[in-house]
Amino acid sequence: MPEPRTTTTHCPYCALQCGTRLTRERTGVVVEPTDFPVNRGGLCQKGWTAPALLDVPDRLLHPMVRRGGRLRAVDWDTALRTVADRVRELQAEHGSDAVGVFGGGGLTNEKSYLLGKFARLALGTSRIDYNGRFCMSSAAAAGTAAFGSDRGLPFPVTDLGRAGVVLLAGANPAETMPPLLRHLTAPELVVIDPRRSATAQRAALHLQPAPGTDLALALGMLHIAVVDGWVDGDYVRDRTTGFDAARQRAMSWWPERVERITGVPVRAQRAAVRMLARADRAYVLTGRGAEQHAKGTDTVAGFIDLALALGLPGREGSGYGCLTGQGNGQGGREHGQKADQLPGYRSITDPAAREHVAGVWGVPPESLPGPGISAYELLDAAGAPGGVRGLLVFGSNPVVSAPRAGHVAERLAALDLLVVADFVPSETARAADVVLPVAQWAEEDGTVTNLEGRVLRRRRVRVPPGHARSDLEVLHGLARRLGEPGHRYPTTPREVFEELRRASAGGAADYAGISYERLDAGEALHWPCPAEDHPGTPRLFLDRFAHPDGRARFAAVEHRPAAEQVSAEFPLHATTGRVLAHYQSGAQTRRIPELAAAAPEAFVEVHPDTARRAGLADGDLALVSSARGRTAARVRLVDSMRVDTVFLPFHFPGAGRANLLTNPALDPRSRMPEFKVAAARLDPLPAD
């Protein structure tokens, strides 16, 4: 069928998934926002400029294979045969787990699903994980433990607009997803962030803790809720378990102690709790600032415990949620890209789950590999004894976005085979042995699941340029060359989605009742949706939580310091984050002229006193160092920065990579690295 000239779809970037209408004009594709509930006619500058991504000058148009040290254009058969032959050699020599897969939270549901199936069946490897591990894994682990199920927002975004108070712990939607502000209209917005971010500037109350101390603050707030009599006793009795242990833990976090550790004044702690507790409707939302720590799961759990004590989750108009980051960060973690999960959000170690999924795939359950290892562990061991010798990367750019990025780049260089499927020559693609050019958002159909668990249709408005192909076709072609029957790897999104529905049926993220037909008819379908006559579930947990007894669990967590402490050599906290103009590693947005002009280079935000002590002035080039590496960044003096903290956005490549500094210390449960706090120093950049 020819592509329609106009179609409705969704933005290629963040998890808000703003609704857009695309029109193919003689001059190119034109975008306009739709009145979709999450964006209500708004877009941010990334969304407005998204069509330019389709025709960036260095768009990948041909498969390429490295020969004589250079990537050279080849035909598809040569590229796929090269990959398949090398995979077979490596696995024959080193075993199935010698080849791994690294996926992405921007891939559609169909691609995420087929990638997981491809890894487990065609490659027979347990070594699959994805960049969402670096994004929402702590919130997922904490949410699952507390509620028995993990959906970023267990309520529609539009519910936020009716709240009296919203507390944002480590989230900066004014830059990451600006249209969300249309819903953050609560009279009282409370923001917890070491920076006075664009969101914090709009807040009625800004709590500015030292990086890595959010958990102490959450425990202190629970302490205040208990001591000042704000706990919702009926709710705690009727809907939760474990409160006594959580209260006991919080008792040693009296406000003065919390002020000493976090720097947040006692009166501000009290004010925040009072605002939340007095509101008829209130939400506690976490973002990467609370989650990207070696204690990220416990930090999120600390905020969930606070929300439970105040009786918020599972009440219409109140609740806890996580502001998911990547475009399909929610769906990407549901369909089998995670090292420990099978489709439907099932555990890969659960015998019943293995039997169900194996049945859908038409293989014996015992043929499915067991759990693999997490994203950083996969990258850290790449090319080393016991690690993968070959890695297939789909929709990710770990050379820029992984922690300790210099080390990760070295590990990837040590591989015998690095294959990258992407539509732009990202920094990781440039290092690859084989590059596979793929289609992007407006060139193919599919579905994504946004931050509120709503499944959305992406639709195409034009064909891919050059020789670019859908990732589904790439997986089909590779699987066949690896000896798999082709019918196991459908190439149309609709066929893959139909299989995904069956595979997810009965799981936590149940898509069985969701069809392209229902989505195309405009139905708002939030999972779980177990049958075609089921309306979907926009609000989870209203009657009961997903644990067998229907009760939410307090976690009773304990604060611990950041994995790395400041020292005489590294006296500052370095923290990382995002800016309005760029998305993730910047591989896409750095190629859009308007966005590149808005944020052209790496920078570091520094308090004027801190800069003066380092001999730096506004606009100077600084060298920021940690125990893992050094990065160059332009100094921006910001009066509101803490004097002990510098901030760097992580979107920039080369010598400006913020992740050259970051600490790969991992959360014991979610395996999230400690992106948000590293000990660092600041110096003038030497002239040479």
CB of 472 to ligand SF4, least distance (A): 23
Q: Which residues pair with 446 in a beta bridge?
A: 458
Cis link prior to 528 (omega < 30° from 0)? Answer: yes
Q: Which is nearer to ligand SF4, 53 or 604 (CB)?
A: 53
What string of H, E and C letters represents the secondary structure of 26-95?
A: CCEEEEEECCCCCCCCCCCHHHHCHHHHHHCCCCCCCCEEEECCEEEECCHHHHHHHHHHHHHHHHHHHC
What string of H, E and C letters represents the secondary structure of 133-186?
A: HHCCHHHHHHHHHHHCCCCCCCCCHHHHHHCCEEEEECCCHHHHCHHHHHCCCC
Rounded to an integer, what distance in angstroms lies between the CA atom of residue 281 and that of residue 286? 17
Stretch touching ligand SF4 by CB under 6 A, among 11-19, 125-133, 218-226, 434-442: 11-19
Q: Does 13 bind ligand SF4 (CB under 6 A)?
A: yes
Q: Angle CA(429)–CA(431)–CA(435) in degrees, nearest 5?
A: 40
Q: Which is nearer to ligand SF4, 7 or 39 (CB)?
A: 39
Q: Which is nearer to ligand SF4, 40 or 547 (CB)?
A: 40
Q: Angle CA(277)–CA(280)–CA(284) in degrees, nearest 5?
A: 55
CB of 633 to ligand SF4, least distance (A): 24
Q: Which is nearer to ligand SF4, 39 or 631 (CB)?
A: 39
CB of 321 to ligand SF4, least distance (A): 16
CA-closest candidate to residue 681, choices 576, 577, 566: 566
Stretch touching ligand SF4 by CB under 6 A, among 106-114, 177-185, 459-467, 678-686: 177-185
Q: Does 179 bind ligand SF4 (CB under 6 A)?
A: yes
- 8 A C-beta contact, residue 310 and residue 165: no
Task: Write phi, then psi, for 390 (nearest 5 degrees).
Answer: -135, 145
* DSSP H helix total and E strand total for the chain: 23, 29
CA-closest candidate to residue 121, choices 379, 326, 453, 354: 354
CB neighbourhood size of 24 (10 A):
17
Q: Check residue 492 and report its DSSP letter.
A: S
Q: Which is nearer to ligand SF4, 11 or 207 (CB)?
A: 11
CB of 587 to ligand SF4, least distance (A): 15
Residue with tokens 């600041």: 682
Q: Does 209 bind ligand SF4 (CB under 6 A)?
A: no
Secondary structure E strands in 395-536: 417-422, 434-437, 446-449, 455-458
Q: Does 18 bind ligand SF4 (CB under 6 A)?
A: yes
Stretch touching ligand SF4 by CB under 6 A, among 93-101, 147-155, 172-180, 218-226: 172-180
Q: Does 17 bind ligand SF4 (CB under 6 A)?
A: yes
Q: Which is nearer to ligand SF4, 16 or 503 (CB)?
A: 16
Q: Return the H-helix or E-strand segment holding 278.
A: helix 266-278
CB of 45 to ligand SF4, least distance (A): 8
Q: Which is nearer to ligand SF4, 135 or 379 (CB)?
A: 135
Q: Does 11 bind ligand SF4 (CB under 6 A)?
A: yes
Stretch touching ligand SF4 by CB under 6 A, among 7-15, 111-119, 226-234, 335-343: 7-15
Q: Does 177 bind ligand SF4 (CB under 6 A)?
A: yes
Q: Which is nearer to ligand SF4, 17 or 125 (CB)?
A: 17
Size of site (CB under 6 A) for ligand SF4:
14
Q: Which is nearer to ligand SF4, 39 or 91 (CB)?
A: 39
Stretch touching ligand SF4 by CB under 6 A, among 174-182, 265-273, 275-283, 515-523: 174-182
By rule CB under 6 A, what string of x and - marks binding of each residue 603-632 to ligand SF4? ------------------------------
Q: Does 323 bind ligand SF4 (CB under 6 A)?
A: no
CB of 650 to ligand SF4, least distance (A): 16
Q: Which is nearer to ligand SF4, 41 or 466 (CB)?
A: 41
Q: Return the H-helix or E-strand segment holding 346.
A: strand 346-347
Q: Does 16 bind ligand SF4 (CB under 6 A)?
A: yes
SS3 455: strand
By rule CB under 6 A, what string of x and - marks binding of each residue 37-66 to ligand SF4? --x---xx-xx-------------------
SS3 607: coil
The residue with its CB nearest to ligand SF4 is 47
Rounded to an integer, what distance in angstroms lies between the CA atom of residue 202 and that of residue 197? 9
CB of 134 to ligand SF4, least distance (A): 18
Q: Does 174 bind ligand SF4 (CB under 6 A)?
A: no
CA 250 to chain centre: 30
Q: Which is nearer to ligand SF4, 46 or 151 (CB)?
A: 46
Q: Does 14 bind ligand SF4 (CB under 6 A)?
A: yes
CB of 526 to ligand SF4, least distance (A): 17
Radius of gyration of the chain (CA): 24
- 8 A C-beta contact, residue 137 and residue 337: no
Q: Which is nearer to ligand SF4, 18 or 402 (CB)?
A: 18
Residues 6+ apart with CB under 8 A from 410: none
CB of 573 to ligand SF4, least distance (A): 28
Q: Does 328 bind ligand SF4 (CB under 6 A)?
A: no
Stretch touching ligand SF4 by CB under 6 A, among 140-148, 171-179, 422-430, 529-537: 171-179
Residues 6+ apart with CB under 8 A from 122: 475, 478, 479, 482, 484, 489
Q: Does 157 bind ligand SF4 (CB under 6 A)?
A: no
Q: Which is nearer to ligand SF4, 14 or 614 (CB)?
A: 14
Name the residues that contact ligand SF4, by CB under 6 A. 11, 13-14, 16-18, 39, 43-44, 46-47, 177-179
